[in-house]
Amino acid sequence: MGMVGYQWVKILHLIFITSWFAGLFYLPRIFVNLAMDKDPQVQARLIAMAQKLYRFMNILMIPALIFGLILWLYFGVGRSPGTAWMHAKLLLVIFLIGYHHMCGAMVKKFVAGTVTKSHVWFRWFNEIPVVLLTIIVILVILKPF
């Protein structure tokens, strides 16, 4: 794969990352509403939305990670000397994967009716992917170290 292949892998990586983050931003907002509204019909609708969104997020996360690994391992993005920024980014991606799976665990808890967290807790929980995305974009664009 030459330069054109590299550009297409980068494009696909960005499309899947953006799509995955849409879910990472929206699913916790559903959790806020689930924690606030105790109407059984509303709960059922929101739980169904959360389950469907989480399944779709899984589908989006996999190619986002695969295309990122291709950029790193095949094309060597972030593999030359002086690329500590990539190590920091990879650590944050690991945190994102953990956050993603925490969201899946929360969906299961809502289904089981065992969530004890407040809507305020979920509002703070909702900010985590925003912070991680901000730091990752800064690392990728500025490559500060």
Query: Which pLDDT band, with edges at 50, 70 and 90, does 1 fall under?
Result: confident
pLDDT, one tens digit per residue, over 105-142 is 999 999 999 999 999 999 999 999 999 999 999 999 99
Is 89 annotated in a binding site? The answer is yes
DSSP for 84-108, please give it: HHHHHHHHHHHHHHHHHHHHHHHHH
pLDDT, one tens digit per residue, over 35-92 is 999 999 999 999 999 999 999 999 999 999 999 999 999 999 999 888 999 999 999 9
Is 52 annotated in a binding site? The answer is no
Q: What is the pTM assigned to this prediction?
A: 0.95
DSSP 68: H
User: Could you tell me if 17 and 64 are in contact, meaning their C-beta atoms sit under 8 angstroms apart?
Assistant: yes
